[in-house]
């Protein structure tokens, strides 16, 4: 039996960081599916449509930036929290941010939807800790 592919949704308006993140994931893990969104609202629509109609058995990892122009990471989480439990339980959410604001880090750590705060750029060491 083959191992299921690990799924990632990258929600970040920074295309350069998304490229770095995708490269780190692909170099660190085999069998991955990555969907990238530079517009957070599009990610929310995708999640509603895809994960309600086609539930996933294995969890999908969301790597979510905080500072985005149309909808920031905290607002994204507020919208995500309105989804049904059947959708929410299909995800592990990590904040992936270059923010050095201790308030952001603390807010991520106390948010029940967020697993952890990861400092950009994503690297192999962090990925191995997440998936060990």
- The pTM (predicted TM-score) of the whole model is 0.94
Domain boundaries defined on the chain: 6-130
Q: Is 105 exposed, middle or buried (0-12, 13-18, 19+ CB in 10 A)?
A: middle
The residue among 37, 35, 36, 30 whose CA lies nearest residue 5 is: 30
pLDDT in tens, 73-91: 999 999 999 999 999 999 9
> Strand 6-11 relative to strand 32-37: parallel, antiparallel, unpaired?
parallel
Predicted pLDDT of residue 4: 60
- What is residue 1's predicted lDDT score, i.e. its pLDDT? 31
Structure tokens given for 37 = 């969104």
Q: Are 31 and 3 in contact (CB under 8 A)?
A: yes
- State the virtual CA torsion across 15, 98, 114, 3 in degrees, nearest 10: 50
pLDDT tens across 42-83, in order?
Answer: 999 999 999 988 888 899 999 999 999 999 999 999 999 999
So what CATH class is 6-130?
alpha beta
């Amino acid at each position: 039996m083959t191992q299921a592919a690990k799924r990632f949704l990258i929600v970040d308006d920074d295309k350069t960081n998304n490229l770095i993140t995708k490269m780190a994931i692909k170099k660190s893990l085999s069998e991955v599916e990555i969907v990238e969104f530079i517009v957070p609202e599009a990610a929310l629509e995708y999640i509603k449509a895809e994960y309600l109609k086609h539930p996933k058995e294995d969890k999908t990892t969301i790597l979510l930036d905080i500072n985005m122009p149309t909808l920031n990471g905290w607002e994204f989480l507020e919208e995500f929290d309105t989804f049904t439990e059947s959708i929410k339980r299909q995800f592990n959410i990590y904040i992936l941010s270059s923010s050095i604001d201790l308030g952001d880090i603390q807010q991520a750590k106390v948010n029940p939807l967020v697993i952890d705060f990861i400092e950009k750029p994503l690297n192999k060491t962090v990925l191995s800790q997440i998936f060990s």
